Amino acid sequence: MELRHLRYFVAVAEELHFGRAAARLHISQPPLSQQIQQLERELGFELFLRTNRRVRLTEAGRTFLPDARRILERVSQAAESARRVARGEVGALAVGFVASATYALLPRLVRTFRQRHPEVALTLGELSTAEQVVALRSGAIQLGLARPPVGDETLRVDPLAEEPLVVALAARHPLAARRALTLRALAEEPFVLFPRQPRPGWADEVVAACRAAGFRPLVAQETLELSTTIALVAAGIGITLVPASAQTVRLPGVVYRPLRSPAPRTRLVAIHRSEDPRPVVQRFLAVAREVLAAGAGGRG
């Protein structure tokens, strides 16, 4: 017995006319009659009483009809459920993100994604780039929003946004009087940075930018949280470099100054396992690109 046999039977049972049922099914009447006869032979009983003037269900046919309808409905539901999974509209997705992604991109991205895909169980966790790499390898997360360097060539890296670095410094700092700064002007300044371990991390990107300008930054304090870093800058412990989007973190006593051209830039990237087949990963990335393209987080 095949599904088409059930579809043909239900159509004839509802129309009680082979010609109308054939038209509804977009087939000719002789093949339809043959398929019904084949189904009856397989079942071992007649489904219809046929005369020259009318078609009626047998008692067995009336008993068979509700179950046939339920089977077809369940198959249709199963197919639609599978299609939604294949489109990434249902399922579960765990996403890791660096703190700097929370300022311009993440709030709008998560809000948009949840509005469009309320049946995806979305789990979020703040992780450094290095922690995201470990979590991806173990399967704890399926997608990361990270800052290069990633440090794992087996992962797929999809660029999302790029933005300049800016200087965060205390409002009373002498350099705060300038409208823009060169990176070289920071050579003698103490820095507040994230720890360099585990690597790779944001500190590597800051150190690389400073080295390109001809100096190695003097690290006065290491912190684990960007908000703590900005608080220590406000306290006059040191200065730091942050993505331009982090300027939305406003604390009394802190100002941000752009770097003169050529200012170093930082990228926000999505990282995930190349072999991960889950469509929901690509669905989340598509929404991220759309949000960024619309200007909701164009600088990352």
What's the chain's length in residues? 300
The residue among 200 and 285 whose pLDDT is bigger is 285
SS3 296: coil
**What is the CATH topology of the domain spanning 163-265?**
D-Maltodextrin-Binding Protein; domain 2 (3.40.190)
Written as six digits, the tokens of 77 are 């539901």
Long-range contact pairs involving 106-109 (C-beta distance under 8 Å, separation at least 24):
106/145, 106/297, 108/291, 108/296, 108/297, 109/287, 109/288, 109/291, 109/296, 109/297
Task: Give the pLDDT score at 296.
Answer: 43
Q: Percentages helix, strand, coil for the chain, rounded to the nearest 5?
A: 45, 25, 30
- For the stretch 39-68, pLDDT in tens is 999 999 999 998 878 899 999 989 999 999
Task: Give the pLDDT score at 248.
Answer: 80
Considering the domain 3-86, what is its CATH architecture? Orthogonal Bundle (1.10)
- Averaged pLDDT for residues 165-169: 95
Task: Give the pLDDT score at 198.
Answer: 65
Assign 292 a pLDDT band (cuts: 50, 70, 90). Answer: confident
How far is the C-alpha of 234 from the C-alpha of 222, rounded, in Å? 15
Assign 216 a pLDDT band (cuts: 50, 70, 90). Answer: very high
Of 215, 206, 198, residue with least CA distance to 243:
206
Assign 89 a pLDDT band (cuts: 50, 70, 90). Answer: low
The reply to whether 163-265 shares the fold of 91-160+267-293 is yes
| Domain boundaries of the chain, sorted by first residue | 3-86, 91-160+267-293, 163-265
Superfamily classification of domain 91-160+267-293 = Periplasmic binding protein-like II (3.40.190.10)
Mean pLDDT for all residues in the chain: 88
| For residue 91, pLDDT beyond 90 | no
- For the stretch 137-153, pLDDT in tens is 999 999 999 988 888 88
